[in-house]
Amino acid sequence: MAGSGGGVSKYVTAPYWQAVVPSLAAATHRSVADVAFVADPNSGAQIIVNGALAQWGGTSLSAPLFTATWARLLQSCGNNLGFAAPSLYAYAKQNQNMYHDVLSGSNGGYSAATGWDPVTGWGSVNIDSMRTALCPGAGYTAVAQELYVAYLGRPADQGGLAFWANALKNINAPTTLSGVVAAYGSNTALKNLVDSFANGAESQSFYTTSNTTTFVTQIYSTLFNRAPDSSGLTFWSNGINSGGLTKQLAPLSIWQATFSNGGALLDSVTAGNRLAVAMNFTATLTTTQASAYTGTTALASARHLLRNVTSSNDPVDLDFYFEQPIYVNSYQPSVNAAINSIVAGIPY
């Protein structure tokens, strides 16, 4: 930690949020650092400066890394986190896994210790744990996004994603698609929540639920980009017509069955890719872009974006976890183009 800064300011008064640290409760001046990011030029980043490769470090590296991290957290949490510093302190004591605490080392004037210290602050950031702590419904983001893809055929808007994720959290719902499907019949609160989403005006206008055959066909198209095979169409239609499967649960049940069925690899990869692209679309939206993501034309553009998502860019190697990041990354230009069309108010 010899290269670390940190200490007490001679001029800046102590902010209120640092009072949660016992050693700073009576402090009169601002103490730093808040968190630790890599800043050593010897292990930092290589960048191009005036056409030449340069090794970069210091706050010129750590500050933009933190800023980028916070920007992604803002997007993930629906742009409602506010100023970073108070949250970093307010949630730290209740959620210690937000940080990797640095316990040893010195910068010459101060030494690292358990908890907050002037050498590394709270420590380095565990981004996923921080997201879960700062966004109340973060653990339910994937399930909430699955509701949007399955019932509306489009990615979630940021406000809607946060709303439904929090709603799921508030009833202590399962955090996985399989868990939701399994608990639907016995968990009244969960059933009511799923049904309210399925019975919403947008879902009702998206699907033709009055005709079971048409309904099942539309679900297959929405999730897997294909028509149902005859056996699948018969199985799911009979389930709905007999009352064994509610129309409200049908999209999630068909999706989950595909993930559970080893013989439907192409379908599971297509559905997985569509969910991943939808997650990326929602996270990519800036505040200005998010405000434009409303209305018939915008929603139709987002649906068109997902309809073009297929199983893989490589039909030979369909390993789900290997292919999905490659596919989503390669599809980002299409996501950007769709967002640009939405902002411009023209069809994608």
| pLDDT tens figures, 280-292 | 899 888 878 989 9
Report which of residues 193 and 261 the model is more confident about.
193
pLDDT greater than 90 at residue 312:
no
150-192 per-position pLDDT tens digit: 999 999 998 898 889 889 989 999 989 999 999 999 999 999 9
pLDDT greater than 50 at residue 108:
yes
Q: What is the pLDDT of the chain when averaged over all its residues?
A: 87
Strand-pairing partners, residue 54, are 47
For the chain, give every domain's residue range.
7-134, 138-344
Cα–Cα distance measured from residue 167 to residue 162, given in angstroms and rounded to the nearest whole number: 8
pLDDT greater than 90 at residue 255:
yes
Give every CB contact of residue 295 below 8 A, 6+ residues apart in sequence.
Answer: none
- What burial class does residue 245 get, using C-beta atoms within 10 Å of its C-beta: 0-12 exposed, 13-18 middle, 19+ buried? middle
Contact between 284 and 339 under an 8 Å Cβ cutoff? The reply is: yes
Pair of tokens at residue 29:
């001046």
Kindly state the average pLDDT of the residues 19-26.
Answer: 88
First to last CA, the chain: 51
pLDDT greater than 50 at residue 317:
no
Kindly state the average pLDDT of the residues 304-311.
Answer: 89
- What burial class does residue 93 get, using C-beta atoms within 10 Å of its C-beta: 0-12 exposed, 13-18 middle, 19+ buried? middle
C-alpha closest to that of 264 among 274, 275, 256: 256
Measured CA distances, 339 to 68, 211, 296 (Å): 20, 34, 14
Cα–Cα distance measured from residue 120 to residue 196, given in angstroms and rounded to the nearest whole number: 47
pLDDT greater than 90 at residue 196:
yes
Using N-to-C axis directions, what is the helix angle for 127-134 and 59-76, rounded to 10°? 40
Answer whether the bond into residue 33 is a cis peptide, omega within 30°: yes
Contact between 197 and 164 under an 8 Å Cβ cutoff? The reply is: yes
Structure confidence at residue 146 as a pLDDT band (50, 70, 90): very high
Give every CB contact of residue 131 below 8 A, 6+ residues apart in sequence.
Answer: 73, 76, 77, 138
Pair of tokens at residue 265:
């690899």
Measured CA distances, 74 to 81, 85, 87, 155, 342 (Å): 6, 13, 12, 18, 21
What's the pLDDT at 321?
42
pLDDT greater than 60 at residue 76:
yes
pLDDT greater than 80 at residue 5:
no
